[in-house]
Amino acid sequence: MRSLQRSLSTVIILFCTILFLSAADNAVIVRSPYYGTMGTIGEIESMPNSYTAQLNLPETLSEDGADVQRARVLAAIANTGYPVTPGDTITLSYTDGNQTRTLTLQVDGSYRVVVPTIGTIDGKGMTFVEFSQEIERMVVTYLPFSMPRVNLVGTGAFSVTVRGEVASTQEVPAWGLSRLSSVVGAATRFASTRRVEVRGSDGNSTTYDLYAALREGDLEQNPLVRSGDVVTIPQASRMVTLVGEVARPGVYQPLANENLLAILNRYGNGVLPSADTGAVLVRRYDAKDAGNVDVVRVAKNQFADFVVKNMDTVFVNPLTPSSRAVTVEGAVNMGDAQTQTSSLGSSGKLYYQFFPGETIREMVGNISSRFSAVSDLASTYLLRKDKLIPVDVQSVLMGKDSEAADVVLLEGDRFVIPFNQLFVNVTGGVLRPGTFPYIPDKGASYYINLAGGFDPAKNRNGAYTIIDKAGNELDDEAEVPPEAVVTAKLNTFQAVNGMNLATTVTIVGLVATILTIIANVVTFPN
């Protein structure tokens, strides 16, 4: 029986070897996820590059509703720099003799307020604090000891004209604390963030740098807009996309005198420690030939002299650790996870590029989706030079302790995952010994019946043994596992002694033949 098991094991190993040798040479390469994702050109298309994204502006909020109006009034009262705005509504309370009078006043389009029986105040160019003090001073002048008090109860609103590199020229609503950045949301992604012109109602024009204001904190470049302002946004003269291992990737508009080094430091906020600073790749379109694209490799010592052109894309690639690989072959699926099935038609082979210090436990977890129902995970082994190390992958995936789980991977390691052979062999005292397909949850009686049942001439009491593929004898009532051998015992006189008798007769006959030959030789005449 043991010799039969060894023979079966030899056949299985030979079968697996043939499958391994028949595997295609075009093995797939699987990279450890610990390397992270590499920056690719495809990521550029998904990078936000709208005008608001370039300036990191928030989404436009609704300006309607009583809550918004109340919030504006509170913001204006709290801000000492709130300017007098056409449409502002104020209340003026003062004492006239024994009476307290309260008037509701509104700033007109010329920034003036008329106080009945007292006079007119011009608030143009004033903050609301200055304006209210001027009103109170005028009231006291005409009515001493009147104790006047001015309160803001409503903020005015106006519109600003925005034109240039926008979807269409439009009137954008604003109020007293609206800044330039709040009215440019309609600009296209090719609009300039560096040269935004504001022309006031007095005809004077000033150019502002919104990038310097919003990304670098120069708030003087983001002024409050005024009624009658006209905002003109020209087209950007140079746009550069920065991708990869920098602190702040994005789309930027560097100034004319800024080179690659300035772009990396000022706009990208510097390269990360993970960056490969030995060289930077620049993708550039040919202005003369629209179909031509060049990739320029710029060494580190050339950064300060390299001029980045309009529509260039700068790639700062990550450092790539030296990749080392182990092979995993046998019952593994080489297709995508979406196309994997529970069975495999042939042996597969893949190269796993492991991260330095990665263990077997981590590797099998990373490629677990490539195993199938026919992968004999419990019988996996590692070939390391001339040493064979058993690896119970099934236990590793189940989170159980395994001696080999924490072994660190080495270059050249070879993992073999045998196929789980789904058959059961029935031998001994049965009518039709042979090999039968494995069916889960079946006992020995099922397979003995497939073999025609017990042979009465060879087995008198239905005794049998179950030996698993590891050579362990199982309980008679146990479920029969794949590759097990069910042996019906030979325990009848005919089975045991009949075989011995036949052997004895054969030996006696052979001895008699030999003696006859010897006798004939001795008596042969000279």
Q: What is the DSSP string of 460-503?
A: SS--EEEE-TTSPEEPTTSPPPTT-EEEE---SHHHHHHHHHHH
Which residues, at least 6 apart from 71, have a Cβ–Cβ distance to it below 8 Å? none
Band of residue 2 on the pLDDT scale cut at 50, 70, 90 = very low
Reported as a single tens digit per residue, the pLDDT across 361-372 is: 999 999 999 998
Band of residue 56 on the pLDDT scale cut at 50, 70, 90 = confident
- Residue 193's φ and ψ, nearest 5 degrees, are -95, -5
What gap in Å lies between CA 376 and CA 416, rounded to an integer? 10
The reported pLDDT for the residue numbered 278 is 81
Burial class of residue 190 (count of CB atoms within 10 Å of its CB; 0-12, 13-18, 19+): middle
Reported as a single tens digit per residue, the pLDDT across 284-322 is: 887 776 667 888 889 999 999 999 999 999 999 887 766
The reported pLDDT for the residue numbered 486 is 94
- DSSP alpha helices (H): ranges in 23-127? 42-45, 51-54, 66-78
The DSSP symbol for 83 reads B
pLDDT over 70 for what percent of the chain?
Answer: 82
Which comes out higher in pLDDT, residue 324 or 11?
Answer: 324
The reported pLDDT for the residue numbered 268 is 93
Question: How crowded is the C-beta side of 134, counted as CA atoms within 13 Å?
Answer: 18
Q: How many CB atoms lie within 10 A of CB 92?
A: 21
The reported pLDDT for the residue numbered 14 is 40
> What does the CA dihedral 256, 262, 266, 271 come to, rounded to 10 degrees?
140
The reported pLDDT for the residue numbered 36 is 61
Range of lowest pLDDT (21-30, 165-174, 268-277): 21-30
Q: Please say if the pLDDT value at position 150 is more than 90.
A: yes
Band of residue 49 on the pLDDT scale cut at 50, 70, 90 = confident
The reported pLDDT for the residue numbered 293 is 80
Contact (CB, 8 A) for 317 and 297: no
Q: How many helices (H) and strands (E) does the chain have?
A: 11, 26
Band of residue 134 on the pLDDT scale cut at 50, 70, 90 = very high
Q: Please say if the pLDDT value at position 122 is more than 90.
A: yes
Q: Please say if the pLDDT value at position 421 is more than 50.
A: yes
Q: Please say if the pLDDT value at position 169 is more than 50.
A: yes
Reported as a single tens digit per residue, the pLDDT across 59-96 is: 654 555 678 889 999 999 999 999 999 999 999 999 98
The DSSP symbol for 418 reads -
Contact (CB, 8 A) for 329 and 347: yes
Three-class SS string for 386-404?
A: CEEEECCHHHHHCCCCCCC
Three-class SS string for 160-210?
A: EEEEECECCCEEEEEECCCEHHHHCCCECCCECCCCEEEECCCCCEEEECH
Which comes out higher in pLDDT, residue 382 or 318?
Answer: 382
Reported as a single tens digit per residue, the pLDDT across 181-206 is: 999 999 999 999 999 999 998 999 99
Reported as a single tens digit per residue, the pLDDT across 221-263 is: 999 999 999 999 999 999 999 998 999 999 999 999 999 999 9
Global confidence as pTM: 0.58
Which comes out higher in pLDDT, residue 495 or 237?
Answer: 237
Which comes out higher in pLDDT, residue 44 or 112?
Answer: 112
The reported pLDDT for the residue numbered 64 is 59
The structural domains of the chain, ordered by start, are: 2-37+322-417 (no CATH), 51-60+158-233 (3.10.560.10), 86-154 (3.30.1950.10), 240-316 (3.10.560.10), 423-491 (3.10.560.10)
Cα-based distances in Å from 301 to 123, 133, 269, 277, 335: 59, 62, 19, 10, 44
Q: Please say if the pLDDT value at position 104 is more than 50.
A: yes
Q: Please say if the pLDDT value at position 21 is more than 80.
A: no
